[in-house]
Amino acid sequence: MNNQPENLPRTVMTDPVHFLAFGFGTGLAPFAPGTFGSLPGVLLFWLTMGYGLYVQLTVIALLIAAGIWICGESARRLGIHDHGGIVWDEIAGMYLTLMVAPVSVTGWLLAFVFFRFMDIVKPWPIRDLDHRLGGGVGIMLDDLVAALYAAVLLGLYRWLM
- Give CA–CA dist 22/7, Å, rounded: 14
* Residue 89, C-beta contacts closer than 8 angstroms, at least 6 positions apart: 67, 71, 139, 140, 142, 143, 144
Higher pLDDT, 2 or 49: 49
pLDDT at site 134: 82
The percentage of the chain sitting over the pLDDT mark of 70, rounded to a whole number, equals 96
- Look up the pTM and report it: 0.93
Delimit the domains of the chain by residue range: 30-160
Q: What is the mean pLDDT of residues 1-5?
A: 55
